[in-house]
Structure 1
Amino acid sequence: MMSSPVLRIGTRRSKLALAQSGMMQRAIAAAMGLPVEAVELVEIVTTGDRVQDRRLLEIGGKALFTKEIEEALLDGRIDLAVHSMKDVPAEQPPGLTLAAIPEREDASDAFISTHYPSFADLPAGARLGTASLRRQAQALALRPDLKIEMLRGNVDTRLKRQADGDFEAILLATAGLNRLGLSEVIRERLSLDDFLPAPGQGALALQTREGETDADWVQALNHPLTALAVAAERGAMVALEGSCRTAVGAHARIDDGVLTLTTEMLAPDGSTRWRRSGTLVEAGSSGAEAAARILGERLGQEVHAAAGDQQVEV
């Protein structure tokens, strides 16, 4: 009987985080030829989990979902961390690195409603629940008549509030619902064009200490095409200072060796959106990830320049 774990994975305590980390736990154990019990999940409550009554921008931004886990990694209490990529700040803390990015799930946003089959079918003045400034701005760009109301909490809490009639509809990430086995609640997978996702949406990040990226599981779990797409999206995020204080979207797709990246910034009220697209050929070549990041930064800078000094923060 194994007396201590071989590897300790730090994870948030939410049902979704545990589902995602459990997937990685099983995959890592298989890659290392170990029983699942040898890879331990260490649950860590983050500030972002504790504070549920305000938008993240009011309490310090999305880094509040990663800070305590990263501290445990730096302190040696865990050996790696599993994050939702869209929660990972643009810059890594000194001493830490993103070792692997597994294959991405569906990157789209999901429309959920008891009474209405699609976003377009919402009546004038309908209450739409979301805590995302990006989703708010994109929804208002299409439907300025909607009433956007703040909705935080775990997935179950959000679904219950919608079912209880607090909102006519809510928006969530499709990937999280799929991973929780709740895809049946989705009435519509929203267009990736109208609702350009958050940078990295649908992808996971496996974070380790620097110098610990040569483990067998790193190569086994890293998905090069997902890593390439995410590099482009996060490049745009850096240029746009993407955070919970700005409405920023970025999505890259790869077809026949060509990466196409689209990125945008929106006014919070949806009145204006600034968008740019670009391509990277030979996306499978050596150095493609760095080139993708540069493409993202360039397009993000173009969007930023187009927006100029106009107000894009709340």
Structure 2
Amino acid sequence: MRDAFVSPTVPSLTDLPQGAVVGSSSLRRRAQLALRRPDLKLVEFRGNVQTRMKKLEDGVAHATFLAMAGLNRLRMASMARGPIAVEEMLPAVAQGAIGIERRSADERTAGLLAAIHDGPTGLRLAAERAFLERLDGSCETPIAGLAVIEGDTLWLRGELLRPDGSASVAGEVRGPVADGPGLGRALADELLGRAGPGFFG
């Protein structure tokens, strides 16, 4: 679920020189970078993995970010300098998870999917998605969230950011795993209350 730092010349995020150019089309990543490193120049970066790597080789940017899970699935993890710690860059809600949609009354398909459903991941995502839903999140709202299960406890962290990276509101909540959706809504309410109306602009 972590973000991956990708660069042909720079070893890590902390090694990016002053004023370096970073390519990303993710509003969340751009806001997080602008907040933590306002000196960086952020440019739009679109296309598949190969297209983005070619842009890096051509010098369009010093670095970019991709989902580590996606690189692993493509067997291209070696392209990344390494995953970024979630303490440094909290990932997007449900990043790395694969969802399959089915008709609600299709019990046969439900049975087939049950064989590949990962229970703990489902519990984590229930909390993360409830958090995002309460925030009315979309691709136009820079929101990060990550739930982790520790024994019988679910730990949910969340972050709201202004699109320009000028401010952020972050928090966390812990509680019983079974209460995941309620924890997600509670954290969303807390952060919205602290952010105030019009936070996203």
**TM-score scaled to structure 2, two decimals?**
0.95
Gaps of 5+ in 2: none
CA distance in 1: counterparts of 2:32 and 2:163, whole angstroms: 8
CA distance in 1: counterparts of 2:38 and 2:198, whole angstroms: 19
Instruction: Report the AA paired with residue 188 of structure 2.
Output: G
Aligned position for 1:255: 150
Cα RMSD of the aligned pairs, angstroms, is 1.2
CA distance in 1: counterparts of 2:57 and 2:175, whole angstroms: 44
Aligned position for 1:161: 55
Residue 298 of structure 1 and its aligned partner are, at CA, apart by 1.2
Q: Determine whether 1:234 maps to 2:147.
A: no
Contact 1:119 / 1:188 at 8 angstroms: preserved in 2?
Answer: no
Q: Determine whether 1:129 maps to 2:17.
A: no
Q: Determine whether 1:302 maps to 2:197.
A: no
Q: Determine whether 1:206 maps to 2:89.
A: no
Instruction: Report the AA paired with residue 298 of structure 1.
Output: A
Relative distance call for 1:294 and 1:124 in structure 2 (3 A) is same
Aligned position for 2:174: 279
Q: Determine whether 1:140 maps to 2:34.
A: yes
How many residue pairs end up in the alignment?
200
Aligned position for 1:187: 81
Q: Determine whether 1:266 maps to 2:161.
A: yes
Residue 157 of structure 1 and its aligned partner are, at CA, apart by 1.0
Q: Deviations over 1:223-279 (max 9, x none)?
A: 110001001001110122211111100000011121100011011222211012111
Instruction: Report the AA paired with residue 96 of structure 2.
Output: G
Q: Deviations over 1:84-127 (max 9, x none)?
A: xxxxxxxxxxxxxxxxxxxxxxx000010011000111111111
Given candidates 139, 143, 147, the residue that maps to 1:244 is 139
Secondary structure of residue in 1 paired with 2:11: coil
Residue 145 of structure 1 and its aligned partner are, at CA, apart by 0.3
CA distance in 2: counterparts of 1:259 and 1:164, whole angstroms: 44
Moved over 3 A (4+): 213-216
- The higher-RCO structure (CA 8 Å, 6+ apart) is 2
CA distance in 2: counterparts of 1:221 and 1:309, whole angstroms: 41
Residue 310 of structure 1 and its aligned partner are, at CA, apart by 4.3
Secondary structure of residue in 2 paired with 1:299: helix
Instruction: Report the AA paired with residue 200 of structure 2.
Output: V
Residue 194 of structure 1 and its aligned partner are, at CA, apart by 2.1
Residue 309 of structure 1 and its aligned partner are, at CA, apart by 2.2
Secondary structure of residue in 1 paired with 2:55: helix
Larger Rg: 1
The 5-angstrom pairing of residues 87-106 of structure 1 reads: none
Aligned position for 1:21: none
Q: Deviations over 1:105-158 (max 9, x none)?
A: xx0000100110001111111110111110011111211100110111112111
Residue 214 of structure 1 and its aligned partner are, at CA, apart by 4.4
Identity of aligned residues (%): 39
Secondary structure of residue in 1 paired with 2:99: strand
Gaps of 5+ in 1: 1-106
Instruction: Report the AA paired with residue 53 of structure 2.
Output: L
Contact 1:239 / 1:304 at 8 angstroms: preserved in 2?
Answer: no
